[in-house]
Structures are given as structure tokens and as C-alpha cells.
Amino acid sequence: MLLRSRLLKTAPSWKQLSVCSKSKFSFGKQTRYKSTDASEDEVKHFQELAPTWWDTDGSQRILHKMNLARLDFVQRTLRNQVKIKDPEIFVPGFNYREFLPGYVCDNIQREMQDSIETSLDEKLKMSVLDVGCGGGILSESLGRLKWVKSVQGIDLTRECIVVAKEHAKKDPMLEEKVSYECKALEDVTGQFDIITCMEMLEHVDVPSEILRHCWARLNPDKGILFLSTINRDLISWFTTIFMGENVLKVVPKGTHHLSKYINSKEIIAWFDENYGGQFQLLDLKGTMYLPLQGWVEHDCSDVGNYFMAIQRLK
């Protein structure tokens, strides 16, 4: 049934996939693939999309527009975690916009924002793991932020990794900050301050394995996991598959499958069951595409696409 949570599925024992060779190992006479692998159809689909990944007017144009919203969500979430310690900065303890003149409100907002940006730029040097990086759209954007020390992008589609590496060469500032590898998530070592898993949970067979391995790689000292995926409902089918793929054709046909969508409540329930008391939901927003505006956020996180930020607690 479509309404059954896919997070309850266990990892399949055997798969036959055309993915990176390092993502498999032998057991007897059979070849076992990683539990975080994608299906052969999914890998083939993204192999076909790889050549046009950076064409902002091509098959990935909606993803390029969405990247702006994803980046805003990530940066806002991180700024909200910064505490202003400068005694010279006035931080109102009330809704000052209702009582103070507009120019005063603007000055207060500007001073607080400048203090937060200074704290991010000077004190925080974060390591990032971008899971399912594709051609590197989000990885590059994160790599250009001053407070990011390094970005490691991983993907199972070799063609996408080749595209990502070639495109990153065009920007010298990314040379020492952004790296890409074609590997499975469970082959990643080390821990990261930020892990992004954007528009990829709906493309894997066992999303719970992705979440479990992401959590294991997350810095236990308040590391943050950013997720972006799609609720499993008729509205999502109508907007992403019927309209997006078949009518407007702004998304390549075959990109989405309703049965692979995951409700935001299911992810929260999974964390409650497996890591209760060890995480904090920092933010959860619905997002939708408006042709004249691009991707905009809203508070109905149970419908359509959504962004989620989960922080690991000690």
C-alpha cells in the first residue's frame, strides 16, 4: 500500500546494480551491494541526465531554481543557532516592529545580522557531506560560503561525478574546498558538522538506511542533518508527476515515483523511535514551485515538497 511508510522497510539482501564498483563486495558466489545503493533504473535515469546537469535552461532548470531555496533554508537555520554575545548589540526582547519606527527597526535588524554573519565567518569552519550530490549544484554553492571549511560530495552515478568535477574546475576558489567521489554513503569515513541529503531520499529503495548512516557520520556535538524530499499524497503526485513531468514537462519524465515519496511525519516518527532524546527538530517548512516566483516556503509541511533540519544532541 502507498500509505505504508517506506522507512519501515529493511535493506534488501541482494541487488544487481550498475553503480560504482567500490559499492559492492563478494559473499560466497554472489555479489552483495550496499544497503544505501539506488536501483538500477534510478542510476540509469541520472546517467542520462548528467550531460545537461549545469544547463540552467535544460532538464535540471527546476533543480537550479530550487537550489536557491535550499541554500536560503540552510543559511537561515545556521544563523538562528548563533547567539549574539556582543554587549554593544541591542537585542530586543519584544516584537519591536510593532512599536518602533521603520528606520529604527531596520538598523536593529542590520546590526544583529552583521553580528551573526561575523560570528559565522570568523568562528565557524564547518565540514559538509553532500549525499547524492549529482552534478554538484548544492556542493558548489556551499563551498563558496566563508564559514564552510570543506565539502565532500558523493553520488552513485559516475557520470554525475565526472560532470561535478569538471564544472568545479571553472571556479578556482573551490579547488581546495570541494571534492567529489563516486561511492556509497556507508563507505564514507569521518564525521561532519553538516550533512545534506537533498532530493535523494525519494530515489532510494531503503531511505531508513540513508538516515541511519547519515546519523552515524554526523558530528555528535550539534551536527545538523538537512533533508529535502516529498510527501506521499495526491497533491504531490499531481504537482510533481502529472503536471511537472507529463503536462508542463519541466521535470524529466520518470524522475519521480509516488510510492517512493516519504511523509515528513514519518521521518520524525522514525527519529523518535530510533534516536529519541538524541535529536532536535530545528525547522520544518513546506516548499512549492510558482512559475512566476520560483520556489517559495510555506507552513504546510505535510503537503508536497518540504525542507527539514535535524540537529544531533549529545
Which segments are annotated as binding site? Answer: 70, 132, 155, 198-199, 202-203
Strand partners, 256: none
Q: Which amino acid is at 254?
A: G
What would the grid cell of residue 2 be?
Answer: 502507498
For the annotated binding site for S-adenosyl-L-methionine, the residues are 70, 132, 155, 198
Sign of CA dihedral 46, 48, 51, 54: negative
Binding residue ranges for Mg(2+): 199, 202-203
State the Cα–Cα distance between residues 49 and 30, nearest whole angstrom: 31
Residue showing cell 564547518: 126
Burial 180-198 (b: 16+ CB within 10 A, else e): bbbbbbbebeebbbbbbbb
Q: In sequence order, which residues have a C-beta less than 8 Å from that of residue 304 and are 6 or more positions away? A: 230, 231, 233, 235, 236, 239, 240, 286, 287, 288
Q: Burial, 37: exposed, middle or buried (Cβ in 10 Å; 0-12, 13-18, 19+)? A: buried
d(CA 188, CA 217): 8
Q: How many residues belong to the chain?
A: 314
How far apart, in whole angstroms, are the C-alpha atoms of residue 43 and residue 50?
A: 11
Q: 306 near 229, Cβ under 8 Å?
A: yes
Contacts of 244 (CB under 8 A, 6+ apart): 62, 250, 251, 256
